């Protein structure tokens, strides 16, 4: 359910970082997902581990974790968070063909970790693109979205239970 006002703006329309000083610290979890579609031959290189640049998904996993930790530096009005846990999972999908990335971020604090999970997915997919662009410049990142969030005043969001967005 959308909020009636955008909290990153003052009543005068000026950008602001949201005041979280009075919010309770709770366990916060967010799960995001996205995919990168590629030529079947590119996916085969990743799957076989024969790409000349090395372990594409291993490097992308580290990049995702680093990206999650740098979110507040990249997104101007995000609060810096102390992440307590980040997991990055990849699955190879021959029907795309491509790679699906799912990231779970956790913290204990007064604000959520949705942006960290979404940033981590994007950075992971960008890293796959960077490592494979020499063999496939037509790769396309797609379907980046929040799957789940829990903790805090706004309650739980779960993509499976809430209405799908009109773009999917």
Range with the poorest average pLDDT among 9-13, 26-30, 35-39, 42-46: 9-13
Helices 114-132 and 56-69 pack at an angle, to 10 degrees, of 150
Task: Kindly tell me if the per-residue pLDDT of 63 is higher than 70.
Answer: yes
The edge-to-edge listing of strands for the beta sheet with 98-109 is: 83-93, 98-109, 26-37, 140-150, 157-158
List, for residues 141-152, the tens digit of each pLDDT value: 999 999 999 998
| pTM: predicted TM-score of the whole model, two decimal places | 0.86
Task: Tell me what pLDDT residue 17 has.
Answer: 73
Task: Kindly tell me if the per-residue pLDDT of 4 is higher than 60.
Answer: no
Neighbouring CB atoms inside 10 A of 30's CB total 25
List, for residues 92-132, the tens digit of each pLDDT value: 999 999 999 999 999 999 888 999 999 999 999 999 999 99
Catalytic residue among 19, 24, 55, 130: 130
Helices 114-132 and 40-48 pack at an angle, to 10 degrees, of 100
Q: Is 130 a catalytic residue?
A: yes
Domain boundaries of the chain, sorted by first residue: 26-158
Tell the CATH topology of 26-158.
Alpha-Beta Plaits (3.30.70)
Task: Tell me what pLDDT residue 111 has.
Answer: 87
Residue 128: which of 29, 60, 54 has the closest Cα? 60
Mean pLDDT of the residues in the chain? 89
Question: Residue 35 — φ and ψ, nearest 5°?
Answer: -140, 160
Residue labelled with tokens 């979404």: 118
């Amino acid at each position: 359910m959308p909020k009636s006002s955008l909290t990153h703006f003052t009543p005068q329309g000026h950008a602001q970082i949201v005041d979280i000083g009075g919010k309770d610290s709770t366990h916060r979890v967010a799960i995001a997902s996205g995919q990168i579609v590629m030529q079947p031959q590119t996916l085969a290189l990743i799957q076989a581990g024969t790409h000349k640049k090395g372990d594409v998904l291993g490097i992308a996993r580290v990049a995702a974790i680093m990206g999650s930790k740098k979110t507040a530096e990249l997104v101007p009005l995000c609060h810096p968070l102390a992440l307590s846990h980040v997991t990055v999972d990849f699955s190879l999908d021959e029907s795309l063909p491509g790679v699906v990335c799912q990231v779970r971020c956790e913290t204990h604090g007064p604000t959520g970790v949705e942006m960290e999970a979404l940033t981590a997915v994007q950075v992971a997919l960008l890293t796959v693109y960077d490592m494979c662009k020499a063999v496939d410049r037509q790769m396309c990142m797609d379907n980046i979205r929040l799957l789940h969030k829990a903790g805090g005043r706004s309650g739980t969001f779960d993509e499976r239970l809430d209405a799908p967005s009109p773009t999917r």
